[in-house]
Amino acid sequence: MNILVLAPQPFYQHRGTPIAVRELVTTLSGQGHHVDLLVYHEGQDVPLSECQLVRTPRIAGLSGIRPGFSWKKLVCDSLMFAKAASLLSRRSYDVVHAVEEAVFMALVFKVLFRVPYVYDMDSSLVQQITDCFRPARPARPLLRSMERLAVRRSAGVVAVCRALEELARSYQADKRIARLEDKSLLGDALPMDDLLETLDFGGPVMMYVGNLESHQGIDLLLQTHAIVTAREPNCHLVVIGGIPAHIEQYTRLAGRLGILSRTHFLGPRPTAHLGHFLSQAHVVVSPRIMGENTPMKVYSYLDSGRPVLATRLPTHTQVMDDHMALLAVPTPEAMARGALALLGDPDLCRRLADRARQQVAEHYSQEAYERKLGVFYRELEGDLQCSAASRRKRLGRARVPTR
């Protein structure tokens, strides 16, 4: 099929959604589809085999577009709408694959150009907007109605986790829905300097990888580390990822908590280095405190051979259980107890890590991802062909003269 993918974000960047979009278009192209990918003007150019990358127009001064609701995103989405309309008027597409808020553009395009769309549900837009923008909370019923309409008018939904699949089914139980979880990003680790030698830790290492947005629970992570170091003074926390403003913010917090000398913010690192870094941790941590979608990092954590400490919230429990991770309620005291339990029990660490790797191999591998996406698009293609045949049949009947 000819597919137009609308991804309203900077592309490419080393963070969750752009990584997922790159995997999506690469897989679709590899399965024989022709894909045009429309993204924001901002981001790195990366090679995309058999996929055409199209960007929105660049506007001077419009840069540094972060995840979440903002006026910058509204401007970029307006530019994306215009660019997508231009593409749809000039090229023939079988389906629009709309990521996150682009689904509302696709809803309009379905009316204007009669092109069906797939809703790529990476998060609940209602929850995302009302969590990050408090004045929007009274409008929650209206936003929920809009999200319901987007699901019902779609040709199908791709949900990134079980919670979002269940949300989509609550809007329309018989809708074609595929649960397409992210996959482990670990491959052959590139050779690099050894962290433990370079930074001379001399003790166990807890590690966090990802952005430093507020919903990730970095405050909780640092408070946890402060309690852990009171018991294990040689324990160090390594944080990989984050923009400079966030790194500065949390560096100040680490100073106030008295743990700055044992907390190391390394900034962003290429995805290809992820396996190398995780292999040097004693415990990997996901302290997320908000949201229902599972963080992409979790799948690589589970594949790392290291024990995972995570908050006992739906964002994690829909993928992990007590047999494959140490789950704790999201308080500094409970998380610290979990960290100390892992640091003091190598056998527990080994059992959890082995079970986690088994789950990744069975459910979150590259092969599993390709299989689930391929099945969804083959079935979707059949649905669209049947719909087209029914439409032609109805038109044929309408042309038969009556006596």
Phi then psi for residue 154, to 5 deg, are -75, 160
pLDDT of residue 394: 66
pLDDT of residue 403: 43
Cα–Cα distance, 216 to 44 (Å, whole number): 24
DSSP annotation of 115: -
Size of the chain, expressed as the number of residues it contains: 403
Residue 17 vs residues 10, 211, 246, 275, 296: alpha-carbon distances, Å: 10, 11, 19, 19, 8
pLDDT of residue 386: 86
pLDDT of residue 392: 66
Give the position of tokens 């589809």: 33
pLDDT of residue 16: 79
Identify the CATH class of 2-183+370-399: alpha beta
pLDDT of residue 60: 83
Listed in sequence order, the residues at least 6 apart from 276 whose beta carbon sits closer than 8 Å to its beta carbon are 189, 190, 191, 192
Cα–Cα distance, 106 to 95 (Å, whole number): 10
The hierarchical CATH code for the domain 195-363 is: 3.40.50.2000
Six-digit token string for 37: 């990918």
Six-digit token string for 56: 């929105």
Sequence-distant contacts of 356-359: CB under 8 A, at least 24 apart = 356/301, 356/302, 356/303, 356/308, 356/320, 356/324, 356/325, 357/302, 357/303, 357/305, 359/302, 359/324
pLDDT of residue 190: 54
Phi then psi for residue 402, to 5 deg, are -105, 155
pLDDT tens, residue by residue, 242-258: 999 999 999 999 999 99
For residue 264, the SS3 value is strand
Listed in sequence order, the residues at least 6 apart from 400 whose beta carbon sits closer than 8 Å to its beta carbon are none
Domain boundaries, the chain: 2-183+370-399, 195-363
CB 240 within 8 A of CB 14: no
pLDDT tens, residue by residue, 43-65: 988 888 889 999 999 988 888 88
Peptide bond into 12 cis (omega under 30): yes
pLDDT of residue 382: 92
CB 64 within 8 A of CB 85: no
| Beta-bridge partner residues of 3 | 35, 95
Q: Which residues of the chain have pLDDT under 70?
A: 68-69, 131-133, 187-200, 390-403
Biggest CA-to-CA distance, the chain = 93
pLDDT of residue 139: 79
In this prediction the pTM is 0.80
